[in-house]
Chains A and B, each alone.
Chain A
Amino acid sequence: MEKVHISSQFDADLELVRSRLLQMGGMVEEQLRNAIAVYTGADRKLAEQIKTVEESINMLEIELDDRCTHLIARRQPTAGDLRLIMAVIKITTDLERIGDEAAKIGRIGTQMHDQGLVKMFGFSDVHVCANMAIGMLKDSLDAFARMDSVAAERIVKQDQLIDNEFRSILRELITFMMEDPRTISTALGVVWIAKALERVGDHAKNIGEYVIYVAEGTDVRHSISAAGSVL
């Protein structure tokens, strides 16, 4: 049987922080999907919704920081509780930044559509990158919900793949731009979007690292070898 705190209110407060973080994660994940839909033109009307939801995500960041500050002040958490609260504070920042990246993708996608720039390239490369980023984010949130350090370690390693994909897109676009300078505006837009997706991968990787910290007590940040294995 999983042990509970003698103070049931402490349990309830911790659970609330956990569930609010997952709620924030869900919103951010949806933002990312919507942003890609705006870019690919699947549903351009979502651009407005993205702006509104971004505000709510920012508010959730403030709320979660505030809840964590109060938990520290009132409960002086230790061990696993302390690690959880520290991780929530940090994951909140990563989620908020993923939200920013999603908003950026939505904004650039809208501009590109407005300027008629989107049809020059197919969406397939960015699609691969986007699916990887969304997958990593989803998996990192699942790993947090289950405190699954094995899954978290997989996500940390996956980051290398999305980095490779970004570099591949960049090489391809450089070739286009060199061959035909008229593609530069469009290509730059795609680069910003691909870069934003690559950053989402970085943030998802950070979340994975925090899950390992909470579950195992080990800080694995900046300890990934070139081969991609956690040292």
Chain B
Amino acid sequence: MVTNMPNAALQTAPTSTIKADIRNFNFFYGDFQALKNVNMSIEEGRVTALIGPSGCGKSTFLRCFNRMHDLYPGNRYEGEIVFHPDNTNLLAADVDPIEVRMRVGMVFQKPNPFPKSIFENVAYGLRVRGESKRSVLEEKVEQALNNAALWNEAKDRLHEPAYNLSGGQQQRLWAKDRLHEPAYNLSGGQQQRLCIARCLATDPEMILFDEPTSALDPIATASIEELIDTLRGKVTILIVTHSMQQAARVSDFTAYMYLGEMIEYGKTDDIFVKPRDKRTEDYITGKFG
């Protein structure tokens, strides 16, 4: 049952399997407390959207899930992010952040493919894991590109460098073999789907999307949203978006954050039609005063 409880109390979304429990969670950038006593449960295989005005802490919250804040000194976590079914607290000192990042992939605002071929981008995580067998890599790359709806567009380009080709030649090669072309040859939307494929290759349990379509046009945005839809049920997704329409379109659950607090968390259908908290209503209807 979804309830709107004060921050101190546990906010539970749902009835089915829980992937992650966030308990009494605080986060500090040095002396500044960016997240205040966040409690929520994230359902497995569902899409949960985080919305809220700039600076409310939603990206900060998202980045806690793969310990990205560890990279900067002075940052401090309090409380727990417990992953199920193994009940691992992702924030525990004895849990290796690299292992966390294998379990929790991330896709950023701007597509950030490595300056390598399409194939090597997707195979990268697997190689880091120590996988070197060509047949395994090829199978995994194909699977990940397939899941990211990119295989049909990229399979013919696996091996070709295309930087120095003319537009016409590129067009012809596009249809032939693209997998070994530099990833930069792909369009913005395709690059973003490649980044998703790169995530998928290591079979993560959760993928974090930090405004994944804010740099894309409406068509590329639609294809990413379609992709998120196909991943529903296979992987748990947490998405930060500034577009409330996008949150309404893609997510099963929505959490509204404001000034580092989790104001309301519930089913997306309820949040967008009948929010319980006045602050949520004011935000999603675009009111101030």
Contacts and interface: CB of A to CB of B under 8 A. Distances in A.
B286 A10 contact: yes
A4 B287 CA distance: 5
Contact of A3 (B274, B275, B288): B288
A78 B287 contact: no
A80 B286 contact: no
Given A79-B281, A80-B281, A217 B274 contact: yes
Identify which of A1, A7, A76 gathers the most chain B CB atoms within 10 Å of its CB. Answer: A76
A83 interface: yes
B286 A79 contact: no
A65 interface: no
A81 interface: yes
Contacts of B286: 5-7, 10
Nearest to A216: B274
A77 interface: yes
B289 A78 contact: no
Interface size class of B (residues with CB under 8 A): 10 to 19
Contacts of B287: 3-6
A2 interface: yes
B272 interface: yes
Given A78-B284, A79-B281, A4 B272 contact: no
Nearest to A83: B273
A76 B245 contact: yes
A80 B248 CA distance: 15
Interface string B252-283: 00000000000000000000111100001110
A78 B285 contact: yes
B271 to A, nearest CB: 8
Given A78-B244, A78-B284, A79-B284, A2 B273 contact: no
Given A78-B244, A78-B284, A79-B281, A1 B274 contact: no
A82 interface: yes
Contact of B273 (A5, A76, A78): A78
Interface string B238-258: 000000110010000000000
10 contacts: A1-B289, A3-B287, A4-B289, A6-B287, A76-B245, A78-B285, A79-B284, A79-B285, A81-B285, A83-B274
Interface of B: 244-245, 248, 272-275, 280-282, 284-289
